[in-house]
Amino acid sequence: MDIVQEIKKFVEEECKKPTNKYGYDAFLYHFIPMVKYAEKLSDELGGDKEAILIASWLHDIGSIIYGRENHHITGAKIAEEKLKKLGYPQEKIELVKKCILNHRGSQQNTRESIEEQIVAEADILSNFDNISGIFYAAFREGKNQAEAKEEVRQKLENKWKQTHFEESKKFIESKYEAAMYLFLYVPPTEKQKHVLDVLNLKIVKLFSVQNQKI
């Protein structure tokens, strides 16, 4: 049994349920990019890769099933129950739980292991693959285009500052710079044009959908 794939399947099934207020987009545009970055960081920095990937798939499962409040706590409980059913070793379950409990930057918890640090960092990096989703969240909160743009800009700046590993900055540097150029109306370099084209396309599509709803 490939336990990482079993956990991925479990998370995807939960994301498809109508009770998940975030919809299947959460799986496509947050979980998948987040796991991708966790795997890349583990390849560069080490740690228990299996535990890192499991924790990455499960890090927001509490939010999917019970809602965002205290989702790091509910997520750790769900992870323990699920992994015990799959016969996963208890010492590794404890490591996965620590990663989930300490992944939220707002909690300011101490991350003692490289596994905890990687999961938290991958969660930050995933924002740079889902800028259109951050805009969508701002619109759902009732913000207009100018307010949404400023909120997204500030969030991306904060996420960039929260990265700790040099490897992380290398992974997202071009995306971050392209986004900042987009927000500040400064002409991009040749290196950034492709990333900007992708960002522009996503944002235009998002604005189009929102305008159709008005």
Look at residue 1 in the predicted model and tell me its pLDDT.
Answer: 73
Q: Which two tokens stand for residue 3?
A: 């336990």
Look at residue 83 in the predicted model and tell me its pLDDT.
Answer: 98
Look at residue 10 in the predicted model and tell me its pLDDT.
Answer: 98
Cβ–Cβ < 8 Å for 95, 115: yes
Q: In whole angstroms, what is the distance from residue 102 CA to residue 59 CA?
A: 9
pLDDT per position in the chain (214 positions), as tens? 799 999 999 999 999 999 998 999 999 999 999 999 999 999 999 999 999 999 999 999 999 999 888 899 999 999 999 999 999 999 999 999 999 999 976 656 677 899 999 999 999 999 999 999 999 889 988 999 889 989 999 999 999 999 999 999 999 999 998 888 888 755 556 666 666 666 666 666 665 655 554 4
Q: In whole angstroms, what is the distance from residue 179 CA to residue 184 CA?
A: 9
pTM of the model: 0.83
Cβ–Cβ < 8 Å for 100, 123: no
3-127 topology per CATH:
Hypothetical protein af1432 (1.10.3210)
Q: Which two tokens stand for residue 76?
A: 């750790």
Q: Which two tokens stand for residue 6?
A: 């079993």
Look at residue 183 in the predicted model and tell me its pLDDT.
Answer: 81
Residue found by looking up tokens 């740079």 in the block:
128
Cβ–Cβ < 8 Å for 118, 52: yes
Running DSSP on this structure, what letter comes out for residue 187?
P
Domain boundaries, the chain: 3-127, 130-213
Q: Which two tokens stand for residue 173?
A: 């540097």
| Dihedral angle over CA of 170, 176, 178, 182, nearest 10 | -170
Look at residue 203 in the predicted model and tell me its pLDDT.
Answer: 66
